[in-house]
Amino acid sequence: QVQLVESGGGLVQPGGSLRLSCVASGSIFSIFAMGWYRRAPGKQRERVADITSGGSTRYADSVKGRFTISGDNAKNTVYLQMNSLKPEDTAVYYCNADIATLQNVDVAGDYWGQGTQVTVSS
């Protein structure tokens, strides 16, 4: 019913930048919020940042001042601009969204993308 597709991951040197994108498609009635999580090897999944349809944002303390989340409601897309990347940012980054579908407009479901690898290394 709903698909989230991420793009923009890759290999970057410490101090570099990457921009992740996530597009939601399918039987979408309304998107309430979108965000990014990450899972590093041997660690638990961590919420990185999220943004509501109204534009309110939250960030993990570990990325504040370095990462910026933004959204384009018309395109059902969320972005994560990552600057001043550190080796500890290396992880698989997953897009997440709270979406009500055309089949069930009263309840928001939790949807995930397939993940995109970000590797920060010299």
Number of other residues whose CB lies within 10 A of the CB of residue 85: 22
Q: What is the pLDDT of residue 94?
A: 98
Q: Which residue has the tokens 């698989």?
A: 92
pLDDT in tens, 70-81: 999 999 999 999
pLDDT in tens, 43-77: 999 999 999 999 999 999 999 999 999 999 999 99
Q: What is the pLDDT of residue 22?
A: 98
Instruction: Report the amino acid identity of residue 60.
Output: A
- Alpha carbon 16 to its chain's center: 18
pLDDT band at residue 10 under the 50/70/90 scheme = very high
Q: Are 52 and 73 spatial neighbours (Cβ–Cβ below 8 Å)?
A: no
Q: Can you spell out the DSSP letters for 45-63?
A: -EEEEEEETT--EEE-TTT
Q: How far apart are CA 102 and CA 30, in angstroms?
A: 8
The chain-wide mean pLDDT, for the chain, equals: 97
